[in-house]
Every structure is written in C-alpha cells, then in structure tokens.
Amino acid sequence: MKHERLQGIGMTSRRTRERMVRRLVEQGIRDARVLEVMRETPRHIFVDEALASRAYEDTALPISFGQTISQPYSVALMTEALLCGENVHKVLEIGTGSGYQTAVLAQLVDEVYSVERIQALQQRARRCLRELRLANVRFKHDDGNLGWPEQAPFDAIMVTAAAVGVPRSLLEQLRVGGRLVIPCEEAGQQMLKLIEREDEQKFHQQVLSAVKFVPLLGGTC
C-alpha cells in the first residue's frame, strides 16, 4: 500500500509526472538535474488527498493554514536559479510549507536547513520527507525572517514566500559568492529576484520573473 502511495496511479502516476516535466521543458527549464528530480518526486503526497489528482497541474494548490504548495514551474525555476552557482552544498530554505520544495532541494544538495513559522505544517512535511527517506534535512520552527544564524554561512538561500524588501539577516547569512532566490513585493506586484553576494558589502541582483506567492510573515504559531 505504501509503495502504491509513493508511485501513484491514474492522475498521480509516473506518466502524469512525465507530462509535467515535458511542460517544464517547454516553459524553458533546462537543468537536467532539476527535471530528473521533479520527475521522480511524488508531488501528490505533499497535498491533501482530495487534491492529489491535481498535484501535477501547473498551478499552486492550497494546503493547511492558508498556505499553498508552489506551482511546479516556480519550484523548477527557483531551484534551477539556485543551482547555477558554484559549490552549492549547504542551502537554507525559508518556508518549509508542504515540504515539496524541501524534498526537491534535498535530492540536489548535501544539506538543507528549513525554517517554518507554522509548527503543525512543518511536522506534516517532516513525515513526508521521512517517507521518502530523505535524511539530509534539518528543521527549525521559527520566524523565517531571522534565518538560521547559528548554521550560517550558507551557499544558497531560497525564500518560498513573498517579502516586502529583502531581510538583511538573510543577506548576512549568505557566504561570499552565494545566491539568494526570493520573491519580493514591489508596487503591488511580486517579482522573483536572484541576489548574488559579490563581497562582504556588495550584492548584485536581477529579476527572473513575475510570480505569485503567499506573503512572508513574521512570528510563529
């Protein structure tokens, strides 16, 4: 029964995942590592059972506590941008959410440190990653705006919620040469930004795409 849950049947089958990957290629995703991991990762286990048949549609889907699981294209785009840097081994993820993005990252880098403000949501994500036998993820229940300073510096940081401005604490936790991928709210529109740390004080940024994410909130619950 467990094997069937992970493999999926019908609209959650491998064939459906193949269609999702072909669509990602058509949308411009080129990194073969990212495409292969998304082909193999059962996204349907990270959504409510009632929505499992829609898991491989290119759309964000609701999960608990007013949060969403990001659309596959956003996951692929952000992961591809993050991995373009050299020596990306240690990654900080802000917003565990459903755990799907966490699972994708965990199969591509050595260490993932994931921070989530909603404890019950993170506990559910932990169970999904345990089911996939992904043991290179460390979790923290905390305000994501703070990052995880005790484990800094990081080779890369990914933020999976839209911030109003880039938290200074996250920039400070990025190693020189590291990359930060973050959706930012500007003038009523969200833009996905890639920020590279060139030296101790200098950062270079570029806009990758218009996106739509839930807001990055402070505090914990």
In order, the DSSP letters of 55-107 are TTSSS-EE-GGG-EEPPHHHHHHHHHHHHTSSS--EEEEE--TTSHHHHHHHT
Of 13, 64, 70, 209, catalytic: 70
DSSP run (H or E) holding 159: strand 154-159
Q: Residue 159's beta-bridge partner residues?
A: 94
CA distance 178 to 176: 5
Residue written as token pair 């229940």: 141
53 catalytic, yes or no? no
In order, the DSSP letters of 15-37 are HHHHHHHHHHHHTT---HHHHHH
Nearest to 194 by CA among 185, 183, 186, 202: 183
User: Which are the catalytic amino acids?
Assistant: 70
